[in-house]
């Protein structure tokens, strides 16, 4: 029998990083020492205090059974306390917080709760690919909001046509931004909230990088007046605590919206391992312990790589946070041309801007989640590129 895929996956391009990984493997098989600045996955280990909490919790047999769908109340309450401590935002753990198996999981399931076939979701371009794909899976139509350097990589909300806004149910935003490393401004968030009220749009703010900043502290979207009425915010332990493999995150905000995602999830998964949630309590309760030191490592690496790129005449958009360096390709090269030169002439993997959407054309993203020795080596190789 010939197995036939559904149209929704037939037409889907392969997941960006899976494709790059394939090319990388081919070079490794040829004996090339490839330096990977592609995927954004912290190389710094999870803090020991969190691993120890997991160990202790994993020994308790009550944690071996199905977890609760919404997440342990004790963890949801800890998330609420963290929002108070970090952002001075008041939320109720039992109403405004839902635990996720990573924020990718939550983002991917959100459109199922709010999008009817034919509805529109506004997605940033360049942006995390999941926003658009999840919208399509739900039968919705993603509408790209260009993030242009001339506008600080913020979408220009005035340019969204009225007939699009009429059909829009969701708007995805993400600041500090992946891949552009841009931070949002107060004015932008306020304007987005006004637009959301006016057109009944739910704002889904992906805040995975709020703790990875080099100078100014990014705000939570929920700090702004009216945000709780129109929005939710996805947050993850992945980037803050080097816990990408643990799969633990939360979404916080509007009660009805949170309940909507909860309803989807009860029918799809059975929650995050409780021992991991208890380790998450430890992570958030003492969140500042070691955080500055980890972020300082990313800062130093970003500076090192930026200097290396600038030394060959590349224009870098200086990151204020995240662990990415976003820059304009040299010599007007297209993103895929430059990615191939890096890979073939320098054995370096970086992510072409177009992997994040058409408005990423002309740019490249480098992730500094590798050790210093390799990063120095990468900088040397870049300096030796004949471009
Ligand atoms: C890494 C990342 C995520 C996914 O984080 P998980 O919680 O590990 O699923 C979500 N959004 C953006 C923008 C990211 O860069």
CA separation for the pair 41, 244 (Å, rounded): 7
Please tell me if the CB atom of residue 322 comes closer than 6 angstroms to any atom of ligand 1: no
The span from the CA of 107 to the CA of 125, in Å, is: 16
Examine the fold and report which residue of 259, 285, 311 is the final residue of a domain before the chain moves on. 285
For 132, the token pair is: 């658009």
pLDDT at 203 over 90: yes
Q: What is the pLDDT of residue 13?
A: 77
- Contact by Cβ (8 Å): 182, 324: no
Are residue 139 and residue 201 in the same domain, yes or no? yes
In this structure, is residue 6 part of a structural domain? Answer: no
What DSSP element (H or E) covers 228?
helix 227-230
Tell me what pLDDT residue 16 has: 67
Query: Which residues form the domain of 176?
Result: 48-285
Claim to verify: residue 70 and residue 219 sit in the same structural domain: yes
Q: Is the CB of 124 under 6 A from ligand 1?
A: no
206 touches ligand 1 (CB under 6 Å): yes
CATH code, domain with 119: 3.40.640.10
Using a 6 Å cutoff on CB, does residue 82 contact ligand 1? no
Mean pLDDT (whole number) for 97-119:
98
Which pLDDT belongs to residue 15? Answer: 67
- CA-to-CA distance for 100 and 212, rounded, in angstroms? 20
CA of 236, closest atom in ligand 1? 7
Task: Say which residues have a Cβ less than 8 Å from residue 343's Cβ, sequence separation at least 6.
Answer: 23, 24, 27, 34, 349
- Same domain, residue pair 249 and 162: yes
pLDDT tens-digit profile of 138-151?
Answer: 999 999 999 999 99
The whole-model pTM stands at: 0.96
Q: Are residues 32 and 56 in the same domain?
A: no
What's the pLDDT at 150?
97
53 and 35 within one domain: no
- The pick from 100, 128, 221, 243 for probing ligand 1's pocket by mutation, whose C-beta has the most ligand atoms within 8 angstroms, reads 128
Domains held by the chain: number: 2
- Are 57 and 67 in contact by the 8 Å Cβ rule? The answer is no
Instruction: Report d(CA 90, CA 92) in Å as an integer.
Output: 7
Closest atom, ligand 1, to C-alpha of 106? 9
Ligand 1 lined by 236 (C-beta under 6 Å): yes
Widest Cα–Cα separation across the chain: 61
Q: Which residues pair with 250 in a beta bridge?
A: 99, 235
**pLDDT value at position 108?**
98
- 386 pLDDT more than 90: no
Ligand 1 atom nearest residue 174's Cα: 13
Question: Does residue 67 share a domain with residue 160?
Answer: yes
**pLDDT above 80: residue 291:** yes
Average pLDDT, the chain: 95
Candidate from 129, 130, 175, 178 with most ligand 1 atoms within 8 A of CB, to mutate? 178
Same domain, 34 and 52: no
**For residue range 66-87, what is the model confidence (pLDDT) as tens digits?**
998 889 999 999 999 999 999 9
**Residue 180 sits in the same domain as residue 298:** no
Tokens 């909507």 found at: 260
Any idea which residue has 């870049």 for tokens? 382
Please check whether residue 119 is in contact with residue 167, taking contact to mean a CB–CB distance below 8 angstroms.
yes
Which residues in 27-56 are b (16+ Cβ under 10 Å) and which e? eeeeeeebbbbbebbbebebbeebeebbee
CA of 341 to the centre of ligand 1 (A): 28
Same domain, 76 and 33: no
Q: Whose CA is nearest to atom 4 of ligand 1?
A: 104
Round to the nearest angstrom and report the end-to-end CA distance of the chain: 52
The full DSSP string for 255-291 is HHHHHHHHHHHHTT-----HHHHHHHHHHHHTTTTTH
154-190 per-position pLDDT tens digit = 999 999 999 999 999 999 999 999 999 999 999 999 9
Question: In whole angstroms, how far apart are CA 327 and each of 306, 324, 365?
Answer: 9, 10, 7
Ligand 1 within 6 A of CB of 75 = no
Instruction: Read off the pLDDT of residues 336-348 as tens digits, 9 standing for 90 and up.
Output: 899 989 998 999 9
Q: Are residues 209 and 242 in the same domain?
A: yes
Which pLDDT score is estimated for 94? Answer: 97
**End of a domain among 225, 253, 285?**
285
């Amino acid at each position: 029998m010939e197995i036939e895929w559904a149209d929704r996956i037939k037409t889907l391009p392969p997941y960006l990083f899976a494709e790059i990984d394939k090319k990388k493997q081919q070079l490794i098989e040829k004996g090339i020492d490839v330096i990977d600045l592609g995927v954004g996955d912290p190389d710094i280990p999870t803090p020991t205090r969190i691993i120890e909490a997991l160990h202790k919790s994993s020994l308790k047999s009550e944690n071996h059974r199905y977890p609760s769908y919404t997440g342990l109340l004790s963890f949801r309450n800890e998330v609420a306390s963290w929002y108070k401590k970090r952002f001075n935002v008041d939320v109720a753990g039992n109403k405004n917080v839902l635990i996720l198996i990573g924020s990718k999981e939550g983002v991917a399931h959100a459109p199922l709760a709010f999008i009817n076939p034919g509805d529109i979701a506004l997605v940033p371009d360049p942006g995390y690919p999941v926003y658009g794909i999840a919208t399509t899976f739900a039968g919705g139509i993603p509408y790209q909001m260009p993030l242009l350097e001339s506008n600080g990589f913020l979408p220009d909300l005035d340019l969204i046509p009225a007939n699009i806004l009429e059909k829009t149910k969701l708007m995805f935003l993400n600041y500090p931004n992946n891949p552009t490393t841009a931070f949002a401004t107060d004015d932008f968030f306020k304007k987005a909230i006004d637009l959301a009220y006016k057109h009944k749009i739910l704002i889904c703010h992906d805040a995975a990088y709020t703790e990875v900043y080099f100078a100014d502290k990014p705000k939570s979207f929920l700090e702004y007046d009216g945000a709780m009425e129109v929005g939710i915010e996805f947050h993850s332990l992945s980037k803050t605590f080097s816990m990408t493999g643990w799969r633990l995150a939360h979404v916080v905000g509007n009660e009805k919206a949170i309940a909507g995602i909860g309803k989807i999830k009860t029918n799809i998964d059975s929650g995050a391992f409780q021992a991991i949630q208890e380790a998450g309590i430890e992570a958030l309760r003492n969140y500042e312990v070691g955080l500055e030191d980890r972020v300082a490592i990313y800062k130093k690496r970003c500076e090192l790589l930026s200097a290396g790129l600038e030394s060959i005449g590349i224009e870098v958009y200086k990151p204020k946070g995240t662990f990415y360096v976003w820059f304009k390709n040299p010599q007007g090269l297209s993103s895929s041309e430059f990615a191939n030169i890096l890979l073939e002439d320098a054995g370096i993997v970086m992510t072409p801007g177009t992997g994040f959407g058409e408005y990423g054309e002309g740019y490249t993203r480098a992730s500094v989640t590798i050790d210093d020795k390799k990063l120095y080596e990468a900088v040397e190789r870049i300096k030796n590129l004949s471009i």
